[in-house]
Structure 1
Amino acid sequence: MKTLFVEGIIIVLDLDRFEEYTIKYGLDQYKPNTITGMLTSLVENFIRKWRAVVVYGLDYERGTEETIIEIPYGFEQIDEIVKDLKAIKDEINKAGALITIVVVKDYVLGRKARNRKEAYHGTPGRRRAIRVLRKAKRAGGNKLVVLI
């Protein structure tokens, strides 16, 4: 099977210090709660609007804590995409949680990953986005980083 890469946008969203948040408010980490349920809903609306592909992480049973999204050919509307991601970040912040979002322009596959390893390391663009995410989280998190 031949792999086809196209230019697009890679988006990684990850809640910051979420374990601390669940302990502080007495929430169950393994069931949808206020924040993970909200993030699931916000990501679902985002992917529907932009015809994006969820590579990994959208979880209806446990709630979404992290997710990787790809938008093939999405770089033409990058300003609107970033605006929508800022709205997601603002909603999560209003609810009392922190989130880090990374947006990278690179080549995408546009298909769901078979497992977490493939999702995080499947393409050079994803590896780059994950490195930037980890660096932003070490620097305090709650950031929207755009590398275009």
Structure 2
Amino acid sequence: MLVPGTIVMIDLDKFGEIVEERGWSEYRPNPATGLLTMLVERLVSKWQGVVLYGLDPDRGTEEVVIEIPYVEPEELLDDLKAIREELRKVGVTATIVAVRGYVGLKPTGDRREAYEGTPYRRLAAKLLRKAKRRGGDTIVIA
């Protein structure tokens, strides 16, 4: 059953380069991925959202797809800005997209399903790719 809500995608920018530059591990939480894990858990708890893909407390979170029912993207803007600012404090940036649509609220272990499973997720993924090509470090509301 689909209900109205918001799809949120968060992806750390140029993360491979940053990991290499700073000597961080890719396989366990580092300052950025550990922080993003905590921030996502807080967002999901506050808004009663569902993580479809990407939350990884064991390795750290680099990218995540979240669905939040009965919430408009604009309602999330302050929280999304706070996530961006917290990540900047540890020296990384993120591209964040929040798209209004219908959400199914069923977690998936499959990246492709998380990004392309519905027309709204495909739109969010397209906007995420476009924003990252333009340099990232932005929040897109659609």
TM-score normalised by length of structure 1 = 0.93
Q: CA deviation at 1:5?
A: 1.2
What code does the residue aligned with 2:30 have?
N
Aligned counterparts, 1:1-148, within 5 A? 4-75=1-72, 78-147=73-142
Structure 2: any 5+ residue segments left out of the alignment? none
TM-score normalised by length of structure 2 = 0.97
Q: Partners of 1:112 and 1:82 in 2: how far apart?
A: 23
Q: CA deviation at 1:116?
A: 1.2
SS at match of 2:97: strand
Q: Partners of 2:97 and 2:51 in 1: how far apart?
A: 15
Q: Percent of counterpart pairs with the same letter?
A: 50
Q: Partners of 2:100 and 2:116 in 1: how far apart?
A: 16
User: After TM superposition, what 4+ stretches of structure 1 lie above 4 angstroms from structure 2?
Assistant: none
Q: CA deviation at 1:79?
A: 3.8
| Worse-matched range after superposition: 40-49 or 111-120 | 111-120
Q: Partners of 2:108 and 2:114 in 1: how far apart?
A: 5
**Cα separation, partners in 2 of 1:16 and 1:56, compared to 1, 3 Å:** same
Note if contact 2:74-2:141 (Cα within 8 Å) is conserved in structure 1: no
Equivalent pairs, count: 142
What code does the residue aligned with 1:146 have?
I
Q: Partners of 1:125 and 1:145 in 2: how far apart?
A: 14
Root-mean-square deviation over aligned CA pairs: 0.9
Structure 1: any 5+ residue segments left out of the alignment? none
What code does the residue aligned with 1:142 have?
D
